[in-house]
Amino acid sequence: MLTGAVAAAPANGYASMVSAAMDRMMAGMMVKPSGDVDRDFVAMMLPHHQGAIDMAVAELRYGHNEQLKRIAQEIIIDQQQEIAAMKLAIGQPLPPSTPAPTQGGDHHSHMEH
């Protein structure tokens, strides 16, 4: 039988991860306007999307519901692709390990890293 402290450990780990993700996201979104609407939009959206990724990682690590874990995996993939697309749209290079987002008609392999 699990004691209360042992049973609470995963919940505390989840709460800690999500709280840290929210703090990073909120701090990252506090962008001083530069006058370039597009760059400001991306500057605020990148930490927002990364926050969603971080929260999804917490669900994968601590969650038990398989349907929610699949949704969390999809969130990670979708948000990573949107981050890459926004960076490309404003001319920021992608890190070497990040695959470029593809459009519906593009059939290139995603295995080329």
**Where do the domains of the chain lie?**
9-89
Topology of domain 9-89, CATH: Ferritin (1.20.1260)
pLDDT at 95: 77
pLDDT at 45: 97
Query: Is the CB of residue 100 less than 8 Å from the CB of residue 81?
Result: no
pLDDT at 51: 97
Among all chains, which residue has been given the structure tokens 């930490």? 47
Positions of the chain with pLDDT lower than 50, given as ranges: 1-2, 6, 102-113
pLDDT at 7: 52
pLDDT at 9: 64
How high is the mean pLDDT of the chain?
A: 84
pLDDT at 100: 52
Cα–Cα distance for residue pair 104/98, rounded to 1 Å: 18
pLDDT at 4: 52
Q: For residue 28, what are the CA distances in angstroms to 14, 60, 70, 76, 113?
A: 21, 23, 27, 18, 28
pLDDT at 93: 84
pLDDT at 89: 96
